[in-house]
Structure 1
Amino acid sequence: MKYSYEYKKRCVNLYREGKWAETPKGVSTNRFHHAVVEWHRLEKSCGPEALQHKNQNKVWTAEKEYELVAKVLAGESCTKTAIEAGISKGLLYQWVRCYKMKGYQGLVAQRKGRPPKEPDMKKKTEPAELTPSEREEMIRLRAGNERLREERCAAQLKAKKQRSSGNSAKKDTD
């Protein structure tokens, strides 16, 4: 559930006074109290602007992701860095893990979402047009392949005839 900035601020002020705001419907009291304590800690460490909603669905470049990862690797708190950037700490942890495993390439934009079940469902790319020299080479290679197939068939027929003639010669001696 998303709460407004004013509501969060009111809940934090009540918490400082030793009181709890009324728990909203559909949320467990324990979970709501945990959220209020977290809001209090965020406001205390990063200021009241930390309680405001940041821009959602922002597209991050690999350079910006690297800057945040570098801060965390330099020893800065992951939670504080994430709050300042306006992202969840889980996303920042994910970026740090990818960087540790794959280096900078781990931060470069990757395909999002669930991979397709069927290989046929993958996006099909249109082949590039062939140049005249490539077209001639393809015709020559196809003709060569056909000649090899014919030679192989002829060799198989010859071998089959030899086997059958060898079998008939054995039968005559018995």
Structure 2
Amino acid sequence: MKYSYEFKKECVESYREGKWPDTPEGVEEKNFHDSIRKWFRLEEVHGPEILKHGNNINWTPDEKLEIVSKVIAGKSIKSTAIENGINEGQLYSWVNNYKIYGYNGLVNKKKGRKSKNTTMKKTNIHKPKELNESEREELIRLRAENEYIKAENEIIKKEIALREKRYAAQLKAKKQRLSNNSKTKDTN
């Protein structure tokens, strides 16, 4: 059952005063009290805004990994979820995906049905994709590595050219010696 922000605030206020609000019909009292305790803890850590609907945060895979690693290190899912202001079920799902797929299990996947007509896809040729910090660092590292390899290749090419030049000079000198030797033999 979804409760309004105002209702949650009233329940938390009553709980703070040491009273339990009336349990709504069709809801088990124990479950309702557990929810109020959770709302109270969430509000203590994150403020009253956390009780509003639509507080969905788009977590990056790195942020998810940081939270999941706390759970794997032994911290409880419940306390970690409250500390980070996320649903316990969502955190359980992240932990499960991480255990099965590793880091790739934490990457956000596109939702919805795949398009049937792939030839009509729109492509943004004019707008390059924004890079995040780790991608930008990797790009810089790869560019530097590329420059190093290019310089290394140039050195190797120059060494090969020098060897070929020396070898050609040696062959020329050998031919001249042979021709000089044959001339001296002819004159004898």
TM-score by structure 1 length? 0.53
31, 35, 38: which one pairs with 1:38?
35
State whether residues 9 and 51 of structure 1, in contact with CA within 8 Å, keep that contact through their aligned partners in structure 2: no
Mapped to 2, the partners of 1:97 and 1:123 lie a distance apart of: 34
State whether residues 38 and 82 of structure 2, in contact with CA within 8 Å, keep that contact through their aligned partners in structure 1: no
Identity over aligned pairs, percent: 30
Instruction: Give the 3 Å change call, closer, same or farther, for CA 80–122 of structure 1 in structure 2.
Output: farther
Aligned residue for 1:22? 22
Instruction: Give the 3 Å change call, closer, same or farther, for CA 28–11 of structure 1 in structure 2.
Output: farther
State whether residues 64 and 94 of structure 2, in contact with CA within 8 Å, keep that contact through their aligned partners in structure 1: yes
Deviation at 1:57? 2.4
State whether residues 61 and 107 of structure 2, in contact with CA within 8 Å, keep that contact through their aligned partners in structure 1: yes
Q: Does residue 11 in structure 1 map to residue 14 in structure 2?
A: yes
Paired AA for residue 3 in structure 2 = K
Mapped to 1, the partners of 2:21 and 2:10 lie a distance apart of: 9
Instruction: Give the 3 Å change call, closer, same or farther, for CA 53–47 of structure 1 in structure 2.
Output: closer
Alignment of 1:86-101 (within 5 A): 86-101=85-100
Alignment of 1:3-152 (within 5 A): 3-4=4-5, 5-13=8-16, 16-17=18-19, 20-24=20-24, 27-30=25-28, 33-40=30-37, 43=40, 48-49=44-45, 52-54=48-50, 56-113=55-112, 115=113, 121-122=115-116, 124-125=118-119
Aligned CA-pair RMSD: 3.0
List runs of 5+ in structure 2 lacking aligned partners.
Answer: 122-188
SS of the aligned residue for 2:94 comes to: helix
State whether residues 45 and 83 of structure 2, in contact with CA within 8 Å, keep that contact through their aligned partners in structure 1: no
TM-score by structure 2 length? 0.50
Mapped to 1, the partners of 2:15 and 2:91 lie a distance apart of: 25
Mapped to 2, the partners of 1:42 and 1:62 lie a distance apart of: 26
Mapped to 1, the partners of 2:32 and 2:47 lie a distance apart of: 11
